Amino acid sequence: MTQQQALGTLNGCELLGGLAPEQIEALERRCTWRRFKNGEQVLDRNSDSRDVFFVVEGEVQIVNYSASGREIAYATVKTGGYFGELAAIDGEPRSASAVAQGACVLAQVSPSVFMDFVGESPSVGQRVMKRLARIIRTCDERIMDLSTLGAVQRVYLELLRLAEEDPVTQGAWVIYPMPTQSNIAARASTTRETVARVISQLAQEELVKKKGKSLYLWDRDALAIRAEKMSPNEPQAR
């Protein structure tokens, strides 16, 4: 049994959807397959690596750090996703670091192999371009949030972004699994204490309820209205 066969397959990768099995298998043979433990650093933004990573199993958090050392979370790449393509495309240094969230299996490929593969597969190239467009739009939204919203509003909006319709309870929305308060703080560019205070206040007002690994939003519309109507000049924790 090869290393790749023992660790998984790229069949579930969103970037490769619709490709012939032999195309995927050819890429798999050119990958380095690796396991990572929870909290283990996958790559550092200061590294010389320009490789692309496919998440075969688990999740990876894309993060950066402010001058004061505060963690800023850019995105979570889940099973079937990929990351690292920016450095592979332009050859410039990494824009962020990556940390395993739980046990992960990743397939790593060199920038030359990745670029050759993209060039040979028009559908893959189109998906890469659409993903880059999404990254730009997301960055624009975050810049606007940081420029115009207070910390409490940013926490509200992050909860709204994370929530999905509950398949069991009609009208309810749920965040599952609920990220840690530190993780939400990193996403919202604030402190863990602010996140804890916001969630505690929402729970007292019965707008949310924590149950196991889930956080239920009983009235998503009310939370959205609250986030929009708060005055930007209202004193808020940072």
Q: Check residue 92 and give its pLDDT.
A: 94
Phi then psi for 96, rounded to 5 degrees?
-165, 175
Q: Check residue 158 and give its pLDDT.
A: 92
The Cα–Cα gap between 128 and 135 comes to 11
Q: Check residue 233 and give its pLDDT.
A: 43
DSSP one-letter code for 230: S
Low-confidence stretches of the chain (pLDDT < 50) are: 1, 231-238
Q: Check residue 104 and give its pLDDT.
A: 96
What is the phi-psi region of residue 178: left when phi exceeds 0, alpha when psi lies from -120 to 50, beta otherwise?
A: beta
Q: Check residue 170 and give its pLDDT.
A: 81
Is 220 strand, coil or helix? helix
* R_g of the chain, CA atoms, integer Å: 20
pLDDT tens for 68-106 read 777 888 889 999 999 999 999 999 999 999 999 999 999
Phi then psi for 201, rounded to 5 degrees?
-65, -40
pLDDT tens for 33-54 read 999 999 999 999 999 999 999 9
The Cα–Cα gap between 151 and 89 comes to 35
Return the number of other C-beta atoms located less than 10 Å from residue 192's C-beta: 14
Domains of the chain, first to last:
3-146 (2.60.120.10), 150-229 (1.10.10.10)
Q: Is the overall model pTM greater than 0.85, yes or no?
A: no
Q: Check residue 128 and give its pLDDT.
A: 97
Q: Check residue 70 and give its pLDDT.
A: 79
